[in-house]
A and B are shown apart, each in its own frame.
Chain A
Amino acid sequence: MTRSRIPSPSPSVDDLRIDLAVDLAVDRLAEEFDDRAETQTVVDVVRTCRNDLSGVPATALPELVERLARHRLLVAVG
């Protein structure tokens, strides 16, 4: 895992990027767990992870959300 060290220019731009990145994470995870979990389940897990990691710097958030969501999905559905 890598850390991006350069802060983003403003919170609003950060939010847009995060939302886009999280959406992409949902797409990847939905495809990865296609035969084991409903898409809505994946969306819920990702949203929960996003909330749980709300204190994380914006640039690192998407990667951590996806990683945590994948871990939780694996625990839940195998």
Chain B
Amino acid sequence: MGSVDVTGVRHTLPDGRVLLDAVSFRIGDGARAALVGENGAGKTTLLRIISGDLTPEAGSISRAGGLGVMRQFIGSVRDETTVQRFLVDLAPPAVRAAWDAVENAELALMETDDEPTQLAYAAALGHWGDVGGYDVEVTWDTVTVAALGVPYDRCKYRELSTLSGGEQKRLALEWLLRGPDQVLLLDEPDNYLDVPGKRWLEERLRETRKTVLFVSHDRELLSRVADRVVTVEGGTTWVHGGDFAAYPAARIARHERLAEVRRRWEEEHERLVELVRTLQQQAKNSPDMASRYSAAQTRLARFEAAGAPPDRPPEQSVTMRLRGGRTGVRVLVAEQLELDGLMRPFDLEVDYGDRIAVLGSNGAGKSHFLRLLAGQEVAHRGGWRLGARVVPGFFAQTHAHPDWLDRTPVDLLWHGEPGRPGVDRGRAMATLRRYGLVVQGDQPFGSLSGGQQARFQVLLLELSGATLLLLDEPTDNLDVLSAESLEQALAAFDGTVIAVTHDRWFARTFDRFVVFGADGRVYESPEPVFDEARVQRAR
């Protein structure tokens, strides 16, 4: 049995802005609830409050069943954390504490071999057994075999940084789904997973009897898994009790209802204000009206004190204007192209206006292919060339721009770069406004959320005058509305688009599909192919 009750939670940001207020909802036993909202709306903050990482300014959280948490950073661990430590940190608090006690007792025993130290070590081992530590280790063995294909004893000292993002995610998910915790909080569990991995996740989440609250931007996963949707918007939350298919209509209906209630309140307020004004005038001429005037004043004061009902939340306005321009008919020709060690030679012709989705499993060389077309150094054989007036614009998968981290979007726009002229602050802010980034204009790029960084990259593409868009997982960090906005912008783009994606929903908007197979073969498919096997590399 597992459930979560969130009651009246309020959270204020360090700059004084109220991020969340009056947040109340319940996730009952066995529910699979999606937590959705714009980038920066407070989804991760809310998960951190529920998990106990943050203390809310007001309100309370109550839970039944142990809590397992998969934090957003899993998938991008690059420090010296080992597989063993990673699994320990995911375990319930009592197991973690018992493990740490055994570790400390072992260290003490290395220093001092006296009787009290030996007995302390024995007691720590006894406690490890009492909290179910030995059973946990058996489960860890099952987990590493399932996620990595090797027993726990053979990988426990391996650093997590040697695993791919998908493997890190898979390791955590295998544990959380098999472990004892009955309530799971999963912050973007599908990031870094290829399509077979996402399908595996969908199946496991659908069959688990645990209570799950998860954040995802993947519309396919949301529609297959969620049986209710918790939306963070307008500084609070509301719950749609149905699945994701019915969610857009439910959201529109809610917004219309809120707007209608607010409109009625404002009309009534206006009427009361007018009544008070009228009675005030009449009271000047007729003492008999004084009491009615006083009563109207009291009524107005009470009405205002009760406060206005919440208005319709402001719609996220992201307007992407990817213009492009006419190029030669033949945009790209690749002949017997082969990226060293990644795939077999292949031919490809891309024409003006094509919308090509590059599909395939992780490790097949898709991102290298895009980087090559973007003009970066990538070892290859065979030939390739771009057509007349083709200007490539590249959207990087991992937002790997270390030189941008301490610079602000306004600064980056001001200075420009080769192929993209700088713009003054006024134009920069106007453009940032269209991308919903005006508040972040003077914040360091490194402090922006993944979705905000992604939107900024699209903005740079807009300003670069690119006529060939090379997009590497552009929707990975975008919230649902931003992803739809990008799709609309790409539909209106006058040029050619080649996009690597694992986003099935997004991929279906394309009209050609180039598949990088697990066997090294590159082929074109009339339909999207999402079940290419994982590329096997020697461990």
Contact = CB atoms under 8 A, between A and B. Distances in A.
Interface of A: 1, 3, 5-7, 52-53, 55-57, 60, 64, 67-68, 71-72, 75
B122 A55 contact: yes
Interface stretch (B87-95, B133-141, B297-305, B328-336): B133-141
A56 B126 contact: yes
A56 B124 CA distance: 9
A60 to B, nearest CB: 5
B137 A6 contact: yes
20 contacts: A5-B134, A5-B137, A5-B138, A7-B135, A52-B119, A55-B122, A55-B126, A56-B122, A56-B126, A57-B134, A60-B122, A64-B118, A64-B121, A64-B122, A64-B125, A67-B113, A71-B113, A71-B115, A72-B115, A75-B115
Contact of A68 (B118, B125, B128, B138): B118
A64 B119 CA distance: 9
B123 interface: yes
A72 B134 CA distance: 29
Contacts of A5: 134, 137-138
Contact of B109 (A1, A60, A72): A1
Nearest to B128: A57
Interface in B98-129: 102, 106, 109, 113-115, 118-119, 121-123, 125-126, 128-129
Contacts of A52: 119
Contacts of B106: 1
Contacts of B109: 1
By secondary structure, the B interface counts as helix
B134 A68 contact: no
B128 A6 contact: no
Contacts of A55: 122-123, 126
A72 B114 CA distance: 9
B439 to A, nearest CB: 51
Given A1-B106, A6-B138, A7-B134, A67 B125 contact: no
B139 to A, nearest CB: 11
Contacts of B135: 7
Contact of A56 (B115, B125, B134): B125
A1 to B, nearest CB: 7
Contacts of B129: 56-57
- A52, A56, A64, A67: which has the most chain B beta carbons within 10 Å? A56
A53 B120 CA distance: 10
Q: Which size bracket describes the interface of B in this complex?
A: 10 to 19
A25 to B, nearest CB: 14
A75 B102 CA distance: 25
A55 B125 CA distance: 9
B1 to A, nearest CB: 27
B513 to A, nearest CB: 47
Given A68-B115, A68-B119, A72-B115, 7 more contacts: A1-B121, A7-B135, A7-B138, A53-B122, A56-B122, A60-B125, A71-B115
A7 B102 CA distance: 17
Contacts of A67: 113, 118
Contacts of B138: 5-7
- B114, B121, B122, B126: which has the most chain A beta carbons within 10 Å? B122
Contacts of B119: 52-53, 68
A67 B125 CA distance: 15
Nearest to A60: B125
Interface string B487-507: 000000000000000000000
A68 B137 CA distance: 26
Nearest to A2: B106
A57 B122 CA distance: 9
Contact of A71 (B102, B114, B128, B134): B114
Contact of A6 (B114, B121, B126, B134): B134
A47 B160 CA distance: 45
A26 B121 CA distance: 22
B91 to A, nearest CB: 14
Contacts of B128: 57
Contacts of B126: 55-57
Nearest to B156: A5
A52 to B, nearest CB: 7
Contacts of A60: 122, 125
- A5, A55, A72, A75: which has the most chain B beta carbons within 10 Å? A5
B291 to A, nearest CB: 83
4 A-B pairs with least C-beta separation: A55-B126, A5-B137, A57-B129, A7-B134
